[in-house]
Amino acid sequence: MYFQTIHQHPIARGYIYRFPSGTQYYQKFLEQLTQAQPDIVNADRFASILRHLDIRYVVLHRLSEVSVEELGPFLTGNLGSPVYEDEQIAAFVALASDGGDVEPIPLLFVGEQWHPIESVSGVASRWMVNDGTIYTRVDTRGPHQLSLVAYAFEGPRHLQILVEEELVEGYDVGGMQSYVTPAFGLGGGEWTQVRFHVPEGCEVVSEAIAGETDERCLSMLFQHIVVLSLSSG
């Protein structure tokens, strides 16, 4: 808090004993944004999101839960080498804006009913149990679309996409394929739930495939989930 008074910029993430009411979604988003491996959301957009949020510095404390060895390569790959480093911290500078307008970026984080991140053919992927959720936040109210890649476990299976429990579209999903939904409205400045529902439910791998020992219950695999704004030209 003291250093905030020195550099005259708000602190976007840190450690406090109590989180103010209503900040849990934003904190969850920041946790996922700064994890050391790519996810099915926000992939390859780390530096752009920092510029969008007007975050200029990322300071990695060596006593934090995530080690420098784990997160350092991710930050270096996205922001370059640290501008300052000692036995306690490593400080990185986000790419500065050129003074022009920064394109708004819909923020996303992964919610409930997902298995851990894994790599499928070199792409960050997650298997969904069922009724998996993501949450998105946009700056300005307007029409948006959802783009994603999905693959059904022991398919085909039917995928329903609901925004705040309103059905947007349904798809018959088999092999790995890209989908883009019809337009739907999002309210600016609010976190909105998107739910993926598979009516057939999930299956335990070891029960569905002979010889398998995997006890996870799977319905669909997802990659590259992106919210697209239709408001800007």
Task: Quote the pLDDT of residue 189.
Answer: 86
pLDDT digits over 44-88, tens only? 888 888 888 888 888 888 776 666 677 888 888 888 899 998 888
| Predicted TM-score (pTM) of this structure | 0.84
Q: Within the chain, which residues score under 70 in pLDDT? A: 1-22, 64-68, 95-103, 232-233
Q: Cβ(125)–Cβ(40) under 8 Å?
A: yes
Alpha-carbon gap, residue 91 to 84, rounded angstroms: 5
Task: Quote the pLDDT of residue 60.
Answer: 84
Q: Cβ(129)–Cβ(122) under 8 Å?
A: no
Alpha-carbon gap, residue 59 to 74, rounded angstroms: 13
The residue type at 221? L
Q: Which domains does the chain possess?
A: 107-229 (2.60.120.260)
Place of tokens 């088999």: 174
Task: Quote the pLDDT of residue 24.
Answer: 85
Give the DSSP letter of residue 82.
Answer: -
Q: Cβ(30)–Cβ(12) under 8 Å?
A: yes
Alpha-carbon gap, residue 23 to 5, rounded angstroms: 22
Among 171, 168, 113, which residue's Cα sits nearest to residue 145? 168
Among 193, 216, 110, 201, which residue's Cα sits nearest to residue 158? 201
Q: Cβ(57)–Cβ(91) under 8 Å?
A: yes
Task: Quote the pLDDT of residue 100.
Answer: 55
Count CB-CB contacts under 10 A for residue 20. Answer: 9
Task: Quote the pLDDT of residue 233.
Answer: 46
